[in-house]
Every structure is written in structure tokens, then in C-alpha cells.
Amino acid sequence: MKYGPDIITILITTVDYQWEERLDLKPGFRIIATAAVLACIIAGWGLFSKQDFAPITIPIPVEKGLPPSPVESIPADQLKTPDLILLGARAEAVNGTRYDASYQVMSYPGGDVAPDRGACTDVVIRAFRRAGIDLQALIHQDMRDRFSEYPQLWGLKGPDANIDHRRVPNQMAYFKRHGQTLSVENHSDETLWQWGDVVYWRFSNGLEHCGIVSDRRNEEGIPLVIHNASVCREEDALLRWEIIGHYRYPK
């Protein structure tokens, strides 16, 4: 949101007129009041301008006070696929990636948006890439071969490698077809809920969300999750919303 000289003039004129009509202000008070309004508008203009254009330079760290991470004690040459997926997701939390789900043209395969930005699905995509799994390529190829078996929600006539893999319904469809579909209950079961699993939620407003299951657990044994709903975080949020999907990939 930005204010230019024309809109400032309109705002001052409108406020000046309304104050004169409603409060019957004397000319001297009108000048003081109008000056005060102008100062507030200019201050607000500066604030909005900074929000619009100032670069994000301060990373938001992983939440303090988290329990120990079993995976981080594993030697690098012994890390397996779920370990690497988890570490890839955790790197997003350490990076403090800001939420941005806007459409972006990208290279293929291996395409990505700017590293300081991303949607909830980008947490999953980047986590899997840490393990050498390119969901952009896998989902695009699968949609090219079986387009009718994917959700038809966006009016497309064919796959789009720029965005398909960044959409929650498409990720869920791919994991249902090629991964292991797991229970959305028994949340403290360590065999059922393993780190590197992918979890999907539905917010109360109907929007869908996703994240990666962590190796850290709370006092009740329920795993933390790594997700991005505003800024990527690792936190105790598995049961915060309705769970609509739980998958493991590869099987």
C-alpha cells in the first residue's frame, strides 16, 4: 500500500471538511488539526514504504528450548533418506524462510523460488531435495502421464512445471499414488509417526497446509513439526489443526 501526493491531498481535504462540519472547528484549530493529520499520514506513508521495499536481512532462528535432536548426532556418512529429509526441512527453519506462495517461473528440473521465500509446500520440496529427491520433476512427470488422476482445481489443460509441485492437493495426490499412506491418529506412536514423514492439515477456514515431522517430541511423545505458515518454524503444532494426510516416501 502506497500513498502518493494526490491521495494525501484528498485525505486532508476530506478530513478537514468533515471536522469543520461535525465539530465546527475555528480556523486556528483547523490548521493545527490538519497539520496533525498530515504528520500521521506522512509517518504512515514511510512505514508502508519500508514494509514494501525493505529487504529481509535478519533471519528468524529456530525456536529456543527445543529438545535434543537424535538425527543431529548421526555421523554424516550414516544419514539415511528420512534423516536427510528432516535436516533439509530444519535448514528452512534455521533460514527463517518467509511465506510466499506466489506463482514464479523457474527452471526445470531442480527449479526453486528465491531462497528466503517459499510456501508451506516449498518446505517439503526443499527437504526432499536434501535427500536427492526432486518432487518438481517427479510430480510433473506423473501429471504428464496421468493428468486426469490429479485434482482439477485450477482450470489447467495440462501440467505446469512452475507450480504443480507447489500445490498441496497435487503433493497429496502424488504421495497417495507412490508413497505410503499412514494413519492420521495415534500421534505418540514412534513407529507410526517417524521423522521425515509428510503431514497435511486443513485450517478452520478450509485452506490446506503441510509440513515435515520432526525427530523431536514433546513431553507427551508427540512429534514436533517443521512448517511455514508465515515464517518457517520447528514447533509443537501437529495437533493444532485437522490432520488430513500423513505420508512416507519412499515407501
Looking at residue 65, its pLDDT comes to 82
Instruction: Report the number of distinct structural domains present in the chain.
Output: 2
Nearest to 165 by CA among 225, 113, 220: 113
**E strands in 62-163:** 98-99, 117-118
Same domain, 113 and 231: yes
Same domain, 12 and 80: no
Q: Would you say 174 and 198 are in contact if contact means Cβ atoms under 8 Å apart?
A: no
Same domain, 39 and 85: no
Looking at residue 36, its pLDDT comes to 52
Looking at residue 97, its pLDDT comes to 98
Q: pLDDT of 210-227, one tens digit each?
A: 999 999 999 999 999 999
Same domain, 200 and 80: yes
Point out the residues of the chain with pLDDT beneath 50: 1-27, 29-30, 34, 37-38, 40-62
Is 59 within the bounds of a domain?
A: no
Domain of 150, CATH number, reads: 3.90.1720.10
Is 58 within the bounds of a domain?
A: no
Looking at residue 91, its pLDDT comes to 99
Residues spanned by the domain of 119: 71-248
Is 243 within the bounds of a domain?
A: yes
